[in-house]
Structure 1
Amino acid sequence: MNFNQLLTDDRAVSPVIGVILMVAITVILAAVIGTFVLGLGDQVSESAPQASFSFDFDSGNVTLTHEGGETLESGNINVSGDDTATGGPNGVSATTPFSDPIDAGSTAEYSGVDGGETIRVIWTNPAGGSTNTIARATAPQ
């Protein structure tokens, strides 16, 4: 047996590299297909919109103004109150709701706000029903 020939023989290198590349390609394809099958790709693109609201509280009423950010659809926006004095939800009702579309300068008025109550602007994802609070403020006592 010639040891010099054994050390310089590189015929098996090409099949080993080929097998490693095939395994890597298979793993990458499985990850991409699994992401779309499980719907994880859709959830990544559907994040809450970026918008800022101002709250103007006046004797049981609150006026919300869309100050800037993304334009929103009124069907995806809900305004709710959380009465911290009673520990439960409060009956905040729209006096003048937002009109479609909600863009910078749009206003809405709500009544039934108690002192110390937290008012939230909640966005509902039209694709999946998940909700996100995009603005909140607490009424003065």
Structure 2
Amino acid sequence: MQLKELLTEDRAVSPVIGVILMVAITVILAAVIGTFVLGLGDQVSESAPQASFSFDFNTSNTSATITHEGGETLENSNIGVSGDDGTPNGANNFAGSTITAGDSSVYGSVSPGETIRVIWTNPAGGATNTIARATAPQS
């Protein structure tokens, strides 16, 4: 008779499931709160903009014309242009506070075989991303 009572006894099932659910909820809440406290949530939303640039190299006067072909509108203050040596060489010459499709800039002092980069600087954290690059033709 005692064996039959043992098999039908199910009082402990509900408290065990309740404890498991409470632990799961606590872990999920801790992960979400920790993500925002450590600032990881801000970094996820701040990715490099998607924009297309074309480069027209003029070998006679060693310059390059950089044209925004399409994509997102960019803030001029967040964009820089640099060559292989990493120095901006006058940063960029885009007019206005924003750079939209059709805007262009001239970058001077381009050596044959030099790679020119359009660099976006994250305004929130200062991290940089190269959003376009091209290499000048050899002489």
Shared fold (TM-score greater than 0.5)?
yes
The normalised TM-score by structure 1 is 0.91
The one-letter code matched in structure 2 to 1:123 is W
Aligned twin of 1:85: none
Aligned pairs for 1:85-104 (under 5 A) are 88-89=85-86, 92-93=89-90, 97-99=93-95, 100-104=97-101
Cα gap change, 1:28/1:138 in structure 2, threshold over 3 Å: closer, same or farther? same
The one-letter code matched in structure 2 to 1:80 is S
Cα gap change, 1:67/1:3 in structure 2, threshold over 3 Å: closer, same or farther? same
Kindly indicate whether the alpha-carbon contact (under 8 Å) linking 1:57 and 1:139 is maintained by their aligned counterparts in 2.
yes
Cα displacement (A) at 1:93: 3.6
Does 1:65 find its partner at 2:67? Answer: yes
SS at 2:82 equivalent: strand
Does 1:44 find its partner at 2:44? Answer: yes
Runs (4+) of structure 1 exceeding 2 A deviation are 88-94
Does 1:22 find its partner at 2:44? Answer: no
SS at 1:41 equivalent: helix
> In percent, how many aligned pairs have the same letter?
74
1:117 to 114, 117, 135: 114
SS at 2:74 equivalent: coil
Aligned partners of 1:90 and 1:19: how far apart in 2?
60
Aligned partners of 1:128 and 1:93: how far apart in 2?
23
Give unmatched runs, 5+ long, in structure 2: none
Aligned partners of 1:22 and 1:101: how far apart in 2?
50
Give unmatched runs, 5+ long, in structure 1: 83-87
Cα gap change, 1:114/1:27 in structure 2, threshold over 3 Å: closer, same or farther? same
Does 1:134 find its partner at 2:136? Answer: no
The one-letter code matched in structure 2 to 1:51 is A
The root-mean-square deviation of aligned C-alpha atoms, in Å, is 1.5
